[in-house]
């Protein structure tokens, strides 16, 4: 299968990493809208417009499936994208919810949801979890983490201070939904902050599980050809990909 992966910028490479690790596809076309990242502080209408414009980019490629790695796009624009595209479009929110459900049966367990301002404001994760009966939810926008990851800050005192800023009033959760493409890159630090106790839900791993469960897609590609495109500074994005995807 030849698929597209769309993200607002570089963060979606964390999802690509999982797709590569599990050898799911023969070909991946990655498109990052680096000219307009971040989407997280933007309004729903803007995110929807950008997402529909991204579909035009993928028109050039004859893909079989599109994954929107970006949580912010998944929160606001997935239905609109599905309405316009001639191939299936899969977001990361439903897979994240399913992964949480698979790993946490206790409906009273404390769950922390973190993401961009837009993702948290959309309440997509919170509403879906409430519908499933989870009662103990805390949601926090943690937008500064995006800039830190972009700067290559994956540990250290600055990151610790930022976690302290966002988390100091939160009791240790049993699970944390990493509702943003960038957060898997600081997952060790986030788990460490909570004494390595919480289970972390990572969009990339969640989508691999979801594609198998719902689309019957499982490990089979011997090799994956990955092509990276961007709306700005494609060389910069390719350099990040080399670093983030290296092992
Ligand atoms: N890709 C975005 C997300 O997962 C984070 C970066 C941004 O704000 O555009 O929500």
* Residue located via tokens 């597209």: 4
196 and 127: one domain?
yes
Distance 173 CA to ligand 1 centre (A): 23
63 and 84: one domain?
yes
99 and 194: one domain?
yes
70 and 15: one domain?
yes
9 and 70: one domain?
yes
Question: Taking Cα atoms as reference points, which of 33, 54, 12, 47 lies closest to residue 118?
Answer: 47
212 and 195: one domain?
no
Question: Taking Cα atoms as reference points, which of 36, 67, 20, 56 lies closest to residue 211?
Answer: 67
Distance 222 CA to ligand 1 centre (A): 30
Cα(48)–Cα(75) distance, integer angstroms: 10
32 and 59: one domain?
yes
65 vs 219: which has the higher pLDDT: 65
pTM of the model: 0.96
Read off the pLDDT of each residue in 206-227 and give the average, rounded to a whole number: 92
CATH number at residue 70: 3.40.50.1860
104 and 15: one domain?
no
Residues 6+ apart with CB under 8 A from 43: 118
Which residue range is the domain that position 226 belongs to?
2-91+205-244
45 and 61: one domain?
yes
Cα(239)–Cα(234) distance, integer angstroms: 9
Split into its structural domains, the chain has a count of 2
Catalytic residue among 10, 67, 70, 75: 70
Instruction: Indicate which atom in ligand 1 lies nearest the CA of residue 8.
Output: 9
Q: Known catalytic residue: 70?
A: yes
* Residue located via tokens 């988390």: 167
Instruction: Indicate which atom in ligand 1 lies nearest the CA of residue 119.
Output: 10
Confidence of residue 219 (pLDDT cuts 50, 70, 90): confident
- Binding site membership of 71 for ligand 1 (Cβ less than 6 Å): yes
70 and 105: one domain?
no
The pLDDT tens digits of the residues spanning 148-197 come to 998 889 999 999 999 999 999 999 999 999 999 999 999 999 999 999 99
The pLDDT tens digits of the residues spanning 76-107 come to 999 999 999 999 999 999 999 999 999 999 99
Confidence of residue 138 (pLDDT cuts 50, 70, 90): very high
The pLDDT tens digits of the residues spanning 5-51 come to 999 999 999 999 999 999 999 999 999 999 999 999 999 999 999 99
Helix (H, G, I), strand (E, B) or coil at 175: strand
195 and 210: one domain?
no
The predicted structure's pLDDT at residue 150: 84
The predicted structure's pLDDT at residue 199: 97
72 and 149: one domain?
no
The predicted structure's pLDDT at residue 209: 95
Cα(114)–Cα(145) distance, integer angstroms: 10
- How crowded is the C-beta side of 220, counted as CA atoms within 13 Å? 7
Is 247's pLDDT higher than 80? no
Distance 116 CA to ligand 1 centre (A): 7
The predicted structure's pLDDT at residue 200: 98
The predicted structure's pLDDT at residue 134: 98
Confidence of residue 220 (pLDDT cuts 50, 70, 90): confident
Q: The sheet that has 111-115: what strands, in order across it?
A: 137-141, 111-115, 175-179, 199-202
Is 121's pLDDT higher than 90? yes
Q: Known catalytic residue: 180?
A: yes
- Binding site membership of 122 for ligand 1 (Cβ less than 6 Å): no
């Amino acid at each position: 299968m030849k698929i597209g992966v769309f993200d607002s910028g570089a963060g979606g490479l964390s999802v690509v990493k999982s797709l590569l690790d599990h050898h799911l596809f023969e070909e991946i076309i990655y498109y990052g809208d680096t000219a307009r990242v971040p989407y997280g502080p933007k309004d729903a209408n803007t995110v929807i417009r950008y997402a529909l414009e991204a579909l035009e980019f993928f028109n050039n490629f004859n893909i079989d499936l599109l994954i929107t790695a970006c949580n912010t796009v998944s929160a606001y624009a997935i239905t609109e994208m599905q309405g316009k595209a001639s191939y299936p479009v899969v977001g990361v929110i439903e897979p994240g919810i399913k992964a949480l459900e698979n790993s946490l049966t206790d409906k009273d367990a404390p769950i922390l949801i973190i993401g961009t301002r837009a993702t948290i404001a959309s309440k997509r994760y919170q509403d879906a979890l409430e519908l499933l009966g989870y009662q103990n939810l805390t949601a926090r926008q943690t937008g500064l983490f995006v800039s830190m990851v972009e700067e290559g800050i994956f540990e250290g005192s600055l990151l610790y201070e930022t976690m302290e800023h966002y988390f100091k009033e939160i009791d240790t959760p049993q699970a944390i939904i990493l509702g943003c493409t960038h957060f898997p890159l600081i997952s060790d630090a986030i788990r460490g902050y909570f004494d390595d106790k919480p289970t972390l839900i990572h969009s990339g791993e969640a989508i691999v599980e979801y594609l198998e469960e719902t689309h019957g897609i499982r490990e089979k590609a011997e090799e994956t050809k990955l092509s990276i495109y961007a709306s700005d500074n494609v060389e910069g994005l390719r350099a990040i990909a080399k670093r983030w995807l290296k092992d």
